[in-house]
Homo-oligomer: A and B are copies of this chain.
Amino acid sequence: MSENRPNGTALRRAILDETRHLLVADGYDNLSMRKIARAVGCSATSIYLHFENKDALIHALIDEGMEQLHEQLVTAAKEPEPSARLNALAHAYVRFGLDNREYYQVMFQLHPERMERYPVEKFRKARRNLEIHAEALADGVEVGVFRTGSPETGAHVLWTALHGLVSLLLAERVDVKLADEAFIDAAVQHALDGFSK
């Protein structure tokens, strides 16, 4: 099975490249196997030789996105002071979402049905993006600048707030008169406030 060899063929890589390109350009809803095939220069069914189905193909891109997000979070987490670090993490998360709308949508807004068969090892990798927030919270509790239940719960709670902000902005549901940089800062601040001691 081609899925098993770590270094896929050139075709596999080309499929991923074109899919990424089409996703970013046209969005998930306008992504079709035939369009990908046309862009790659192969038949639609050839994609199925390298990916079980469309979901599996998207899962590979989600994994890429999670890795990109992780990189940006790691950069933000260099700040040693827990409070400033969590602030940087939160802003980095939101910025990633706004800067990569189509990526964000498949990463976090895909219907749970489409995620049912998301591979465990990819899921574990994605969870690091939560853990990095939990760590900042735990460190903050230790030095006495934060209060929270468990850091894991706290990280999830923070995530819900940040995700809601990104989601509503991407969905263009927030009044355009309000949805500026100041609004984002206010919402992020609001999400962080609850942890301050």
A165-B164 in contact (CB<8A): yes
A173 within 8 A of B: yes
A159 within 8 A of B: yes
The count of identical subunits is 2
Q: Which residue of B112, B157, B160, B174 is within 8 Å of A156 (Cβ)?
A: B174
Q: Which residue of B110, B160, B165, B170 is within 8 Å of A168 (Cβ)?
A: B160
A183 within 8 A of B: yes
Question: Which residues does chain B contribute within 8 Å of A183, judged by CB atoms?
Answer: 153, 156-157
Main secondary structure of the interface of A (DSSP, over half): helix
The chain B residue sitting closest to A169, CB to CB, is B160
Q: Which residue of B108, B156, B162, B174 is within 8 Å of A171 (Cβ)?
A: B108
Inter-chain CA distance A163–B194, complex, in Å, is 17
B112-A172 in contact (CB<8A): yes
Instruction: List chain A positions with a Cβ less than 8 A from chain B.
Output: 27, 29, 108-113, 115, 149, 152-153, 156-157, 159-165, 167-168, 170-175, 178, 183, 186-187, 189-191, 193-194
Q: Which residue of B162, B168, B170, B193 is within 8 Å of A159 (Cβ)?
A: B168
Question: Which residues does chain B contribute within 8 Å of A190, judged by CB atoms?
Answer: 157, 161, 191, 194
